[in-house]
Amino acid sequence: MSALTRRMPTNLTTVGSRVELTHLVPAVCGDLVTAQATLASREGRRLTFDIVVTGADGTVLAQGQFVRILLDRAAFLSGTKR
């Protein structure tokens, strides 16, 4: 998400709303895996990312989508202090 925050105005933040991930191939404990999220669409405040998880050999282990919602940072933080 660091790539996203570098491109966002500082008065905004995002919160996770939904994650859907389908495991296709098992990974063994200790295996090196890489997860990559690519912005697929933006509809108003909703950001939808496509996720692909690959093994060290490039095998796709899992795929899915991740949704984040854009929020005003100050309003969000003031609501979390209750």
Per-residue pLDDT of 19-77, as tens digits, reads: 999 999 999 999 999 999 999 999 999 999 999 999 999 999 999 999 999 998 888 88
In a domain? residue 81: no
In a domain? residue 79: no
In a domain? residue 27: yes
The pTM (predicted TM-score) of the whole model is: 0.81
Nearest C-alpha neighbor of 64 from the set 52, 48, 76, 79: 52
pLDDT at 39: 92
For residue 47, the enclosing domain spans 2-74
Q: Based on the structure, what is the number of domains in the chain?
A: 1
**CB neighbourhood size of 68 (10 A):** 21
Identify the band that residue 13 occupies on the pLDDT scale cut at 50, 70 and 90. confident
In a domain? residue 42: yes
pLDDT at 79: 80
CATH for 52: 3.10.129.10
Higher model confidence: residue 10 or residue 21? 21
